[in-house]
Amino acid sequence: MRRPTAPGLDRQRLLAAAFEVLEKDGLEGLSMRRLAAHLGVQAPAIYWHVNDKAELLGMMARDIYAAAYAAVPAARDWREWLSLFGQALRQSFSSHRDGARLCAQAQPPATADPASHAHRIAGELMALGLDQQTALMFQAAVISYALGWSAFEANGPMHQFLDTLMGFDDNYRIGLDAMVAGFPSPSW
């Protein structure tokens, strides 16, 4: 439990420790003070490496999204890619305790060059035939659904029904598949 304060902090160790605390204590338990204690350090030390808690949460969210993008296997068309991406997202959200709730409330760090960032995240879909604008729109819709599903999963009074009827994963797929199938094909 005691970290002997080790080499010295940096953003990497901070981030890794933050995920450990998240796993152990959940999103409400992830306080700057607990994080500091987990690192064997005083709370204000964290502020040398990070501006505030929001920035830390943003970095965590960025990593969760990045893991999802990295996990999407090769696809033969854009619909398949979106479907796989939707599944990878859900997987990545649920691979950390409160992952979706974290992403829903954290603001990933604003990228320095938004244009190149947009190109990077839309790249796969563009290679499969979508123009960038359409790629971003469809991707935004899938992300929204994935995000909302995980939030909704835990909190609706429908909860009892959905899992007894089919299981959450199957229910998730229904909405995802419907959305992906329903996206209009580009018109050229």
Partner DNA sequence: ACCTGAACACCGTTCAAGT
The site for a copy of itself (CB under 8 A) is made up of 61, 101, 104-111, 114, 117-118, 121, 133, 136-149, 151-152, 154-158, 160-162, 165-166, 171, 174-175, 177-184
Give the length of the chain. Answer: 188
Amino acid at 9: L
* Per CB under 7 A, 22 contacts DNA: no
Among 3, 24, 26, 42, binds DNA (CB under 7 A): 42
* Per CB under 7 A, 31 contacts DNA: yes
Among 15, 27, 43, 126, binds DNA (CB under 7 A): 43
Among 1, 2, 4, 8, binds DNA (CB under 7 A): 8
- 94: tokens are 């649920």
Which string of DSSP letters, residue by residue, matches 25-59?
Answer: HHHHH--HHHHHHHTTS-HHHHHHH-S-HHHHHHH
Among a copy of itself, DNA, none, what binds residue 188 when CB lies within 5 to 8 Å by partner kind? none
> Phi, psi (5° rounding) for residue 7?
-60, -40
Residues 45-104 that bind DNA (CB under 7 A): 45, 47-49, 52-54
- 168: tokens are 């959450």
Shortest spacing between CB 2 and a copy of itself, in angstroms:
33
Among a copy of itself, DNA, none, what binds residue 54 when CB lies within 5 to 8 Å by partner kind? DNA
Do 146 and 108 touch, CB atoms closer than 8 A? Answer: no
Which string of DSSP letters, residue by residue, matches 112-163?
Answer: S-HHHHHHHHHHHHHHTT--HHHHHHHHHHHHHHHHHHHHHHHH-TTHHHHH
Residues in the site for DNA, rule: CB under 7 A?
5, 8-9, 29-34, 36, 41-45, 47-49, 52-54
